[in-house]
Amino acid sequence: MNCKVAIYARESTEKQDIDTLVSMCEAEAKKLGFTHYRIYKDIGTGYSNEREEYLKLLENIKLGKIKTIIIYEQSRMTRDELEHQILYRLFREHNVKLYVMNRGWIDPNDENDSFISGLLNLLEAKEGRTIAKRVRDRMMHLKDEGNWTGGPAPLGYKLIDKKLVIVPEEAEKVKEVFRLFINGENRTTIANLFGYEPKKVFRLLKNPVYIGRLKKNQIVIKNKKAIENKKFEIVNGKHEAIIDIGTFELAQDIINGIKREVGGIAALQDLLYCRCGSKIYKHGENYYSCKNLSCKSVAIKRSEVLETVLTSLESVINDLGEIEENEEDNVLSKIYLYKKELKKLEVKKEKIFNKYLEDQIGEDLFNKNNKEVSNQIEIVKSQIENLKEFQNNKLKAQETRENIRVYYDKIKNTKDDKKINRLLKIIISKIEFVNDYRFYIHLKF
């Protein structure tokens, strides 16, 4: 007899503790004198009848293997009224008794028990929907205010007092995923690099949480089932963004099939910076543009900006200048004259000192003359050092000019954008726009 006893437990989500529910039912079964029983447990909504363990339970009832069922409350079996009626008819056909922990024994063959059971099932289902609606409304309000309500924190963040806080090490991984994807790596390659599933990389790239925003109404209930709403809203979150809007929008365009940063590396890739501070990216085959949505800058033709950059770079090289022969001679001549003057002043200082030792001048006159000559000596020394520094700077400028010229000539003689990009990165740290047409070139030398 005891082997024909079943315990059935159901929770709506994995977040709920179904094992605790099972333990409570087991303790109740032992109080009732049952020491042998089968346990059936499901994770899923009570409005769905397609539950694996639930269907096994029904099959075993039909086979006569189950005669007693213990549950925590009626809604654990089903929340659907029609299914409730079909279930009780099955109980009556196979003489199954039901024990509900919050009510006691229920005999499906008893008309009063059956009526009250049906009524309680309706009330419990209604209460469940009311609670669910209350929770959804509360979550909706919290999300409208920018609070995180989506369960575990996504990669790059951790939850502190229910708030998303950036984890620097993980945030760098998120940035690297976006960078690799924008630079042409596919999701599978990126997934393998970090040990993720490709689906995780796809979800990461599409998640607006990384630009400081949250999804609203992502899940909706239709026909008593939770389904994903593709027309969800985006609201501003209270958390700090990891990715700038321009980078995120560029990634979305690539995902949606808009060609940017594909088909090879742009000649000025990772060098151009907009006046707003954001990077400027290759846009299609012919343009560069800033993807910061709040930026008002215009798109720039790739051919024009590269040509202008190279022209400006040549001007910078020429401005460094060479040391002309007469200029070099002039500097050397001045240094020679100053050194000659320095020797005269040092001799003069020595004579003043000797006169003081021989009592030819007094102490006051000695101090006065000695101070004047010493000051003159320091001035001459300073002039000599300035000329030497000027000479060294000219030599360094010439050396820099020659180094940059080597790379510049290689750039001018290649048509390969990838090679041009590598050569430019050797001599340029960044190209910073100050308006839609004017920019500064920051050299590394």
Distance CA 172, CA 198 (A): 19
Distance CA 438, CA 2 (A): 88
- Could you give the angle at which helices 52-62 and 81-93 cross, rounded to 10 degrees? 30
Higher pLDDT, 301 or 122: 301
Higher pLDDT, 404 or 375: 375
Max intra-chain CA distance, the chain: 141
Note the pLDDT tens digit of each residue in 253-287: 778 764 443 334 578 888 888 888 888 877 666 67
Cα–Cα nearest to 315, from 430, 405, 419: 405
Distance CA 71, CA 63 (A): 20
DSSP-derived secondary structure for 370-392: HHHHHHHHHHHHHHHHHHHHHHH
Tokens of 33: 């004198």
Asked if residue 236 lies in contact with residue 146, where contact means CB atoms within 8 angstroms, the answer is: yes
Asked if residue 40 lies in contact with residue 56, where contact means CB atoms within 8 angstroms, the answer is: yes
Q: Which of 51-55, 110-114, 222-226, 431-435 has the highest mean pLDDT?
A: 51-55
Is 80 exceeded by the pLDDT of residue 361?
yes
158: three-class secondary structure by DSSP = strand
Higher pLDDT, 424 or 143: 424
Q: Which residues of 293-303 are buried (b: 16+ CB within 10 A; e: fewer)?
A: eebebeebebe
Is 60 exceeded by the pLDDT of residue 439?
yes
Asked if residue 9 lies in contact with residue 39, where contact means CB atoms within 8 angstroms, the answer is: yes
Note the pLDDT tens digit of each residue in 87-143: 888 888 998 888 988 788 887 777 665 555 554 555 455 555 554 555 455 555 444
Asked if residue 197 lies in contact with residue 220, where contact means CB atoms within 8 angstroms, the answer is: no
Residue type at position 11: E
User: What are the Cα distances from residue 399, in Å, to 265, 385, 396, 404, 413?
Assistant: 31, 21, 5, 9, 22
Asked if residue 192 lies in contact with residue 137, where contact means CB atoms within 8 angstroms, the answer is: no
Output the pLDDT for position 263: 38
Half-sphere exposure of 33 (CA within 13 A, CB side): 2
Name, in order, each residue with C-beta under 8 angstroms of 186's C-beta and a sequence gap of 6 or more: none
For residue 237, how far is the Cα from the chain centroid?
A: 14
Is 90 exceeded by the pLDDT of residue 389?
no
Output the pLDDT for position 3: 64
Q: How many helices (H) and strands (E) does the chain have?
A: 12, 17
Is 70 exceeded by the pLDDT of residue 63?
yes
Lookup result for tokens 């669910």 = 132
What are the strands, taking DSSP E only, across 207-273? 213-216, 219-222, 225-228, 233-236, 272-273
Higher pLDDT, 45 or 393: 45
